[in-house]
Chains A and B, each alone.
Chain A
């Protein structure tokens, strides 16, 4: 068995969720990912909460622990001439460099694509930034809510009578990481086939605008914007989130259809002919109280299994506890135990896709600079003395 990306060499100079998720996926399939981090403080995800035991520290951040599995860590001051020289030496042997500085920074550091590819024409360099490498906003500062705002996603999430609402967590940046990952793999594939390397420019905002799909293009065509619809699907009813006894269920009645739901609820008031077709949405004020009252005493798993038994596409809102206990995820051994000194053994989500004859590589996130010796001495051939001297100077 050989993992699909075994032998693919990646230098990850990126800071933040997007670049880290991109290279986490590559490491998961066996790529050799070296995370190149600032000395002492490390890459920024190490400083983002939540922290293990709510105690901040470079080895404590749960974002970092999760996003940097399967990677090696070296420290390097790329603002020093010696650090830059070391990075150029590392890049000679790399297939892919991932970076996320403000546009122009890599060139200023003497690490622009032309410099890095001079002795390595097949090199791919992926830049993943909030606004992309050019354009009037390219120097703007980004952030999760900023990306959701400018991409057009924020405006259509939330309740119609409230302010727009961001999707919780860091989804926009994960989406940017997905785009960077897909594009990097394509460019690496092309490089393998042709020997031609290139620059890949990924904008986190564009990756999120691209999710608008038909709604975005409909609006471009002048057919109006989609309104915010809160917990409800914008067209179909009762495709909606409803509270139940112990959480929320995401109702969906297809393919079985309305009759199957009316049978399950067992209330003849639901059997009016005008409810059977999609126009039932206009009667939601009559129907909702019946569904709400029926769901009030039911557990979410009971509703989910009941609907599935009747071929209705419902789901539930799964909390982390639900996921860890999910019979489906357990049967597929989805969660993997990862042990880290800051947390002890914990269950981490597994791969987003399973390739046959492959093992998902999810070794614990590296300690800051844990692989300095292995990389600088073992790989680059520095002497022990040189490494000690560089460390004393603060280069790594």
Chain B
């Protein structure tokens, strides 16, 4: 360990050379940290629940029962054993709606990040490797995008295009790409001057091939870490959009929508806004913990 810590940070390049040894080292570093493991386990449970929602949810999420409206959670006075986390103003089961709500949050979060990733990384590679006038234009576009609060821009465009899940994914994706562009561009600028890229160029390798084979793989670790953290952000943004009333436009429950409804009943049924919010908190926290530990595990300078 001591020797490794003395090694220059350039050893990231080693990832391409001996993938198996490197991967097991990263894995060992990740496993050593209890917070990362706790996050990963929590995430596994949440994803599992979302995938198997129809089987694990105790009730149909849309089933109403007027006799059981505003049933408090099972441990509170007046709780009903059939409804662990209580029911809402029309008697729908909170827990079941939360389990189903996980689906939309996760799908939107991951898909939006895939959109940002593809757009942002491509533009970052172009901007950094080609440079010149293209770089100036792209960086101006980044500056313009950064001038708008992401939520405000997403809010306006989702409203203009009509709320739907696809719109939300595309709009969140297209308002969150500039981070990738900036990071990838910076890495490419640093990598471009490295000896191994110089060597490849001297051997007559084409620019496209240099970027795809030599530059791109070296930006992977920062892209992976950033994507993890961006999924957490996208989930928060989607919840905020649902809360503000420009959600997916469907009857399918989302966490943000449940909190928005719960706000109106906050004085009679505290559990309605509380639990969906906890679900968001735990999911985002788990993703953030995993992302943070991943960063340390992938960073050869941290032992």
Is B a genuine binding partner of A? no
Chain A contact residues, CB within 8 Å of chain B: none
Chain B contact residues, CB within 8 Å of chain A: none
